[in-house]
Structure 1
């Protein structure tokens, strides 16, 4: 069983990647543009935290600052990448299938399965900043054909209910792994229960905004909690709360088990 862990907003890894200097070939944008990244798990230069959660390897809270800022065209393979746009506009170009040029705004999200090999480019064309949550996970099968799917979560009409966005539910975007992403946006206080597929699954709660209480643990804005070994998770949220809920099979990963042994028992 994975030990419960709490990750506060200020405990995440922090990176700033500039469009100038040695990273200019990777980061797009006018001079002075930059990407700020808050990482829940180890990613690139940040290696001081948890290695992952189940097959999840990246959970990044990223903001593109400045006109034209973003990532120039670059390759991936054998990763599944999701982006959930919170603010601004994201122009996403990818090579899956016959290729796609997509513009995503608040509430839009995508699943890009790079599989056997694909490239993509992500840019904030408008002068306003773009903020998105990025999730990367390992697929359940290597070298699958690359695919791209996108959809929209309507914050106005789907309030006060847990809505599955990604996974195997009707209307959810397909994901080649035993993984589901749901979202809960509230405009009033309430109690909710999330039922997992099995006790061998785990859930990662990420509070986009507002607050969530699980047992004696209170999470605020951008705080997160990982827990497994339970069938149903009961929690309460304050009004105007926005939560991403990621459920996944808990794969046996030696690096994660080693990290857990070094941590104090969670309260």
Structure 2
């Protein structure tokens, strides 16, 4: 088993006034050559957008983009004609493919929006752009990991152009749970959204991250009320042509 530990306090940080963002991997003005990606996981941003503020229309291409709201409501608009609201209990996915423009705004007048923004390199380039969102509160389970993303359009959760599986877990204190990887050669990046847990011998606090690979099973014990995101992803970057 190999591991890489990213404590919450070691992340990059950007304060733009209306946007406060912690970067697990190099992003924008934060560059750390030792943290450019973990396998195909390229971006893990922990964002807070102020009231009545947001990201204006901007482009993406050839990236799988996942948003997981933690608090508040975020309005999404894109060049495919979608206008939606995502909020805590939802998950959103965009396959940017050949190119897409979108904007994200906090339309609330009285509270900020907090959400995780996650980017993955795809296993296919120049696919037709697509957008989807689901209410994962409908499939949530207590004290075990439940799937919110996979490579299969017919499986539980949203789907992406990548051999990736995401699971969320909400645990009471003292609960233990195991996770078995879906595909040989994959690794897992675990991110503690809330609480304190022990994962494969590592003590992790709120917003800590732990990358694990060359193993087929994880064991988690929750030391408090906790919420954890597991992102199973290929460790090798895709070799795909244009």
Structure 2 length-normalised TM: 0.91
CA distance, structure 1, for counterparts of residue 118 and residue 87 of structure 2: 17
Query: CA 1:201/1:172 → structure 2, altered by over 3 Å: closer, same or farther?
Result: same
2:89 counterpart (107, 119, 125): 107
Structure 2 gaps of 5+ residues are: none
1:217 aligns with 2:202: yes
- Partner of 1:62 in structure 2? 47
Does residue 167 of structure 2 align to residue 172 of structure 1?
no
Mapped contact 1:155–1:185 kept (Cα < 8 A) = no
Aligned 8 A contact 1:199 1:228 in 2: no
Q: Does 1:246 align with 2:231?
A: yes
Please name the residue that 2:105 is paired with: 123
Local SS of the residue matching 1:4: strand
Structure 2: distance between partners of 1:238 and 1:70: 36
Does the 8 A contact of 2:139 with 2:146 survive in 1?
Answer: no
Q: What is the distance in 2 between the residues matched to 1:223 and 1:55?
A: 19
Give the strand-richer structure, 1 or 2: 2
For residues 224-249 of structure 1, give each alpha carbon's deviation from its aligned partner in whole angstroms, at most 9, with x where no partner exists. Answer: 10010001111211342000100011
Tell me how large the CA RMSD over aligned residues is.
1.8
Question: Could you tell me how far apart the structure 1 residues matched to 2:200 and 2:67 are?
Answer: 30
- 8 Å contact from structure 2 (residues 172, 222) kept in 1: no
**1:157–1:118 CA distance, 2 compared to 1 (3 A):** closer
Q: Does 1:228 align with 2:213?
A: yes
Q: Which runs of 4+ in 1 moved over 6 A?
A: none
With over 3 angstroms needed to count, the CA separation of the structure-2 counterparts of 1:145 and 1:197, relative to structure 1, is same
Asked if the contact 1:210/1:220 (under 8 Å) is kept, the reply is: yes
SS in 2 for 1:143: coil
Quick check: 1:183 aligned with 2:168? yes
> Separation in 1 of the partners of 2:164 and 2:237?
15
Larger radius of gyration: 1
Of residues 52, 59, 63, the one that matches 2:37 is: 52
Residue of structure 2 in register with 1:17 after alignment: 16
The 1-side partners of 2:232 and 2:200 are apart by: 19
Aligned to 1:140: 123
User: 1:193-212 residue pairs with structure 2 within 5 A?
Assistant: 193-212=178-197
User: Match for 1:41 among 18, 25, 28?
Assistant: 25
* Residue 95 of structure 1: how far off its partner (Å): 2.2
Comparing 154-163 with 219-228, greater Cα deviation is found at 154-163
Structure 1: gaps spanning 5 or more residues: 19-33, 254-267
The offset of 1:252, in angstroms, is 4.7
